[in-house]
Amino acid sequence: MAVLLDSLAQGFKGDASQRAALDEALRDGLPGARSEAWKYTSLRALERRSFASVESVPEIGIELLADIPAPRMVFVNGRYSPVLSATTHLPQGISLRLLSEVLTKGEETARFLGRRFEQTDEVFARLNAALASEGVWLRVEAGVSSDTPLHLVFIGAEDGTDRAWHLRNLLELREDASLSLVEHHLGAGTHAHLINTLTQVHLADGAKLTHARLQQESTRATSLLRTDAVLGSDAGYHRVDLELGSSLSRHELNVRLQGDNAQVVANGVLLADGKRHVDTRLGIEHAARDTRCELTWRGLGTGRGRAVFHGGILIHAGADGSDAMLSNKNLLLSEDAEIDTQPVLEIHADEVKAAHGATVGQLDANALFYLRSRGLPEAQAQQLLTAAFCREPLSVLEDERITASLLAGLDGALANAGVS
């Protein structure tokens, strides 16, 4: 058994069904290079590491949250922090609960936590199903709409030991509800913890969710996230992911357009600087008529960083009228950086519109020449073009407050990487 899996199993405290999920993970082990889903992301270094469970939570200064307004729900090393949170003035019809509370009361856990993961390469989803004991349960009642963004803050903090925790989140919007949500993943200190998160998103008919995620974890951390979303008829899911931190960062975003006229717009930026490894996998399923997906992703490789992108779109038989667009453009700013991109389009319906494209290259020479001819030094011209390239996916956001928050994080990360 891998050292990693053995150490994680030591923290098991679940029931029989969770034990079954853990046994499956231990039996099949970590996926290797022969697994298509992990072909470009090696786990050999991670499997030799050992992590302890979280025992206590270090104190975090409120100044870390100076730019994150209420309402906010804050977790430190996987534990809820009532001191740092501010949820007393939630709009009526919006409820936030802790997974630990739901587990204690035994409410609806079979529907939420009872899901089985059958594929052998879903090892971290299985571990989450077995070991998660905390997370967020967000529900927006039918017809409720809020103009104030809700913030979920997840902080990894140094405490002298490499820790691991597993969070399970459920975001549920009922019929015709709408909400804006911002996730902040922050690092306090240069910790090397492992964070394994599984988030389920359920959007009922007509529901609208704007979902921004800013990942700025410690450059030594391992961040593993899986998001599974199901959209009903006329539902809309707009999201932006900025992958700016962690030593190893992997996000699997799976969206099933279950109802007619459902649409998802999922954009993002992958920053692979230093020796960081950033891996994003999209799996979009068109399972109903007149559904739409628009995916705009930008990758940046510098130093000895490596970015991996897989954009998978599946249009099922009978999903006529579907419209699918994927664009993945990448900049290589270093000879030692590497970017792997794999757009995949699988169509089983007749009347559809679908297009995908992926490029890996350098800054546009004509644009660079134009800026230099206007008197800009070469370094400044390169910085302007790089910043504009990375900002493009953020244009989908309509809330200026969310856009400003993400831009500040993006610009700071680019400056730290020496490319802006």
Looking at residue 389, its amino acid is F
Distance, CA of 341 to CA of 282 (rounded, Å): 12
In which band, very low, low, confident or very high, does the pLDDT at 112 lie, cut at 50, 70 and 90? low
Query: Residue 305: is its pLDDT beyond 70?
Result: yes
Weakest mean pLDDT among 17-21, 72-76, 369-373: 369-373
State the pTM of this model. 0.96
Query: Residue 108: is its pLDDT beyond 70?
Result: no
In which band, very low, low, confident or very high, does the pLDDT at 107 lie, cut at 50, 70 and 90? low
What does the DSSP 8-state code read for residue 263? E
Closest CA to 174 of 145, 194, 147, 133: 145
pLDDT of residue 33: 86
Torsion on CA atoms 175, 100, 113, 226, rounded to nearest 10: 80
What DSSP assignment string belongs to 382-394?
HHHHHHHHHHGGG
Mean per-residue pLDDT, 355-367? 86
Mean per-residue pLDDT, 191-215? 98
pLDDT, greater one: 420 or 234: 234
Distance, CA of 315 to CA of 332 (rounded, Å): 32
pLDDT of residue 109: 53
pLDDT of residue 1: 59
pLDDT of residue 111: 64
Mean per-residue pLDDT, 62-72? 95
Mean per-residue pLDDT, 211-224? 98
How many helices (H) and strands (E) the chain has is answered by 9, 20
Query: Residue 262: is its pLDDT beyond 60?
Result: yes
Q: What is the pLDDT of residues 138-157, one digit of tens each?
A: 999 999 999 899 999 999 99
pLDDT of residue 103: 79
